[in-house]
Amino acid sequence: MAARIERLVTSGQFSLDGGTWDVDNNVWIVGDDHEAVVIDAAHDAAAIAEAVGDRRLTAIVCTHAHNDHIGAAPALADLTGATIWLHPDDLPLWRLTHPDREPDAHLVDGQVIEAAGADLTVLHTPGHAPGAVCLYDEGLGVLFTGDTLFQGGPGATGRSYSHFPTIITSIRDRLLALPPGTRVLTGHGDETTIGDEAPHLEEWIARGH
Ligand SMILES: [Fe+2]
């Protein structure tokens, strides 16, 4: 049985540089009837655990360590025994939210996280955050982008630990090179495709965000 993709939206707050904003986050669950992985344990461990149900949760993959994407990761790991994965370049951000609990394992560019027959290849795509990653499954034709690429452009780069030229390089070299029909499943909001976003790269560079 092929892996399927489920979306759960959870609500909470994003805080950085002294500001706080209300946000809705997409929590992606990739799996079958027996096992699953979660991409971004945002805000509400109980709601995510309920969506996973009695399946074995093998991994919690963090696309980056902004607090809205990782807030519920330790609690969900404690509930399920899943391994928390984070790119080590985001450990300074992680420690702002969870100073007493490190992630369990470090993501590496090119690594494959398996999920019920899905093969999620890790693409290190810094810019929104130093350790931001995307997860690409060629067979499913999907790319999980976290906050690196949205419908309408790049993720925000105006706050600490972000860098606009770096996110543009990541998007141009790693993401827009993927097949145009690839579904882009984002950390917030509605999905898009590589083919819908690629023509707008020069506009984003010109406007600077
Ligand atoms: Fe973010």
* Mean predicted confidence (pLDDT) in 68-81: 98
Q: How far is the CA of 58 from the centre of ligand 1 (A)?
A: 23
For all residues of the chain together, what is the average pLDDT? 97
**In a 3-state reduction of DSSP, which class is residue 27?**
strand
106-145 tens-digit pLDDT: 999 999 999 999 999 999 999 999 999 999 999 999 999 9
Cα of 55 vs centre of ligand 1, distance in Å, is 28
CATH number at residue 161: 3.60.15.10
Those residues whose beta carbon sits under 5 angstroms from the ion ligand 1 are: 66, 147
Model confidence, pTM: 0.98
CA distance 143 to 48: 21
pLDDT tier at 1 (50, 70, 90 boundaries)? low
pLDDT class of 206 with cuts at 50, 70, 90: very high
How many angstroms does the Cα of residue 1 sit away from the middle of ligand 1?
A: 33
For residue 132, CA distances in Å to 4, 53, 114, 138, 202 come to 24, 28, 19, 20, 22
At residue 175, the pLDDT reads 98
Look up the domain containing 80 and give its range: 4-207
Question: At 2, is the pLDDT very low, low, confident or very high (cuts 50, 70, 90)?
Answer: confident
Phi/psi for 189 (5° steps) reads 75, -165
Question: What percentage of the chain has pLDDT greater than the value 90?
Answer: 99
- Alpha carbons 69 and 25: distance in angstroms, whole number: 7
And the tokens for 96? Answer: 């702002």
CA 185 / ligand 1 centre spacing (Å)? 14
Mean per-residue pLDDT, 86-112:
98
One DSSP character per residue, 37-64 reads: EEE---S-HHHHHHHHTTSEEEEEE-S-
Total structural domains in the chain?
1
Q: Ligand 1 centre from 95 Cα, in Å?
A: 15
Contact predicate 63/134, CB 8 Å: yes
